[in-house]
Structure 1
Amino acid sequence: MKVVVIGATGHVGSYLVPRLVRAGHEVTAVTRGTSEPYHQDPAWRQVTRVTLDRDQGDADGTFAPAIAALGADAVIDMVCFTVPSAQQLVDALRGTGAVLLHCGTIWVHGPATEVPITEDAVRTPFGEYGTQKAAIEELLVAETRRGGVRSVILHPGHITGPGWPMINPQGNLDLGVWAALAAGDEVVLPNLGLETLHHVHADDVAQGFERALARHAVAAGQSFHLVSERAVTLRGLAEGIAAWYGAVPSLRYVPLDALADEIGSALAETTRDHISRSHSCSIERARTVLGYAPRYTSLEAIEDGLAWLAADGQVPAPVA
């Protein structure tokens, strides 16, 4: 197939584009600037690069027609965050025969009630990011059902892997938490540390998109969770990473409302964003329909990311 990937050099695209090339697809990588992928791969030499500014193009109505003009059999959209942006792309692709794969988020679900959360669970999203992604999914599913652009929606969890910080056991991005776990120093966790995070390695997300492309005929009009096999509790993550470092964790628990006094308001707010959802999502639909089979557990994905951060000097190196 001729495949256009929007946001091709991001976290997932850096893994996805080489996968698509190796699968025999003709790939056009669309990026806002000239940034290089997170990971170099010889497959990128076979990729056509196109530079388009989506924000400006959405504002003046030129971005979506430019994508449609590339004549793709499939468009993979990794960086659509608003309903108007999605609507423009759908309008431009309608009638072209192209299938659209959209990157959503598990934040389309609000606070968990029953777990594991299925794609069809009653949703109560909150916050602009989650509510916009939920509304985009509704738009795309409705478009598919009325015979327009066929769409598949993929919802990753907390994307993790080499090249960037990942959500830590405190529920935020503070690199000092990893260092404290490595040294056996005290780490403060909210409540009893039993809220959950659901990480996923970026390459497993890329795998999900590759499989959705291959099976788009049966997947169209549906959404799929792309996460690791199982979510992990804050406490379990802290203990697992401490063990990876060869340390014994020193954990102290405080009520969520007191966390800001311990770590500062900005970090505490990020923690609240994550643990107020406490997602633990099912991958049964993705496994059954797409053949999705994540390679990494939550801990393995995080360890892979930490190994890169350690090599970059941002966190301590693990024990040999």
Structure 2
Amino acid sequence: MKVLLLGATGYIGSAVSERLTGAGHEVVALLRAGREWPGGESRVGDISDPASLTAAVTDDIDVVIHAGAPAGEAEPGVVEALLAPLRGTGRAFVYTSGVWALGDTDGLADEDAPVSPPPIVASRPAAEALVLAAAGQNVRSVVIRPGIVYGRAAGIPAIFAGQAGRQGVARYVVTEAGADAPHWSTVHVDDLAALFALAVERAEPGALLHGVAEEGVSTKDFAEAVAKAAGADRVEPWPVAEAAQVLGEPFARALALDQRVSGARARGLLSWTPERPGLLDEVLTSYAPA
């Protein structure tokens, strides 16, 4: 299949591109003007110019994947621009959301759990709704909500590991001083790329899937692994109010979400089988002292 990929040069998108190309699909990168793409054909489009996105979805495109950075309040408009040429054609659209859309979870959350997004991803539910509604308009539309993505020494966990190496302290964000450590639902970027490939090839219209390999990793356990790997002197909680001064309040508050999220649906429907090391093992391997 010929796949138009928004975000092809990004963290998730580059892994997805590799996986799709390895499976025999043709990837066409949708890039901002002036960006280079070594992987073959590319087209120019910009989330600030919805018409450019629509124009890039030509008749030869079988699948559109939006794996680019979210556009904030403009995200539903970006989704609409990409969907418009697909309606009534039976072609596929795969949208990258995220488990943060759920907010704090009460126990183990599956795809039927209510959403309660923090401000940093406030537009995600509206964008998801557009995508899922397109299934009734003859679009093979799919929403994937990844957990916190790690691997290839990148992603959010790498930010914390790098900070620990520089400062000698491994931190985990908590809502306030004395609060329990929250949990993250996680997925290795290569396992996530495998899920995208399966979704492109097999997912039914209107599928909503959690890309989660580990349901709930304690962020305190994560910080302890980071400290060991990076040679940090200590581990300590980082209240949101303090973390916000470094990371910005929206990001800090999202990192303090306490989540346990199930990825069972993707496993059951698509036979997705995550194979990469878990987050703690990956940290110990990737950030071991030289």
TM-score relative to the length of structure 1: 0.77
Cα-to-partner distance string for 1:5-61 (whole Å, 9 max, x where unaligned): 111111112111121122111221212245467xxxxxx65x3222322323x1xx2
Separation of aligned partners in 1, 2:172 and 2:139: 48
Residue equivalent to 1:319: 289
Q: Is the 8 A contact 2:6 2:31 kept in 1?
A: yes
Separation of aligned partners in 2, 1:209 and 1:287: 12
What CA RMSD, in Å, does the superposition of the two structures yield over aligned residues? 2.8
Q: Is the 8 A contact 2:45 2:56 kept in 1?
A: no
Q: Is the 8 A contact 1:165 1:175 kept in 2?
A: no
Structure 1 runs not aligned, ≥5 long = 38-43, 308-317
Shift of 1:213: 1.1
Structure 2 runs not aligned, ≥5 long = none
Aligned-partner residue type, residue 205 of structure 2: A
**Residues 100-139 of structure 1 mapped to structure 2, 5 A cutoff:** 100-115=93-108, 117-127=109-119, 129-139=120-130
Percent identity between the two aligned chains: 27
Taking a change above 3 Å as real, the CA distance of residues 147 and 52 of structure 1, as seen in their structure-2 partners, is: closer
Aligned-partner residue type, residue 265 of structure 2: R
Taking a change above 3 Å as real, the CA distance of residues 193 and 134 of structure 1, as seen in their structure-2 partners, is: same
Separation of aligned partners in 2, 1:212 and 1:101: 8
Quick check: 1:224 aligned with 2:209?
yes
Cα-to-partner distance string for 1:87-146 (whole Å, 9 max, x where unaligned): 22222221333111111111210221122x11111222231x4231111111221221x2
**Residues 195-206 of structure 1 mapped to structure 2, 5 A cutoff:** 195-206=182-193
Residue equivalent to 1:29: 29
Residue equivalent to 2:45: 52
Picking from 74, 80, 86, the partner of 1:87 is 80
Aligned-partner residue type, residue 63 of structure 1: L
Residue equivalent to 1:286: 266
> SS of 1:225's equivalent?
strand
Separation of aligned partners in 2, 1:34 and 1:303: 38
Taking a change above 3 Å as real, the CA distance of residues 149 and 186 of structure 1, as seen in their structure-2 partners, is: closer
Shift of 1:70: 5.1
Picking from 163, 166, 169, the partner of 2:156 is 166
Shift of 1:265: 2.4
Higher strand share: 2
Shift of 1:297: 1.0
Residue equivalent to 2:235: 251
Residue equivalent to 1:98: 91
Q: Is the 8 A contact 1:137 1:153 kept in 2?
A: yes
Shift of 1:206: 0.9
Residue equivalent to 2:19: 19
- Count of residues paired in the alignment: 281
Separation of aligned partners in 2, 1:14 and 1:221: 25
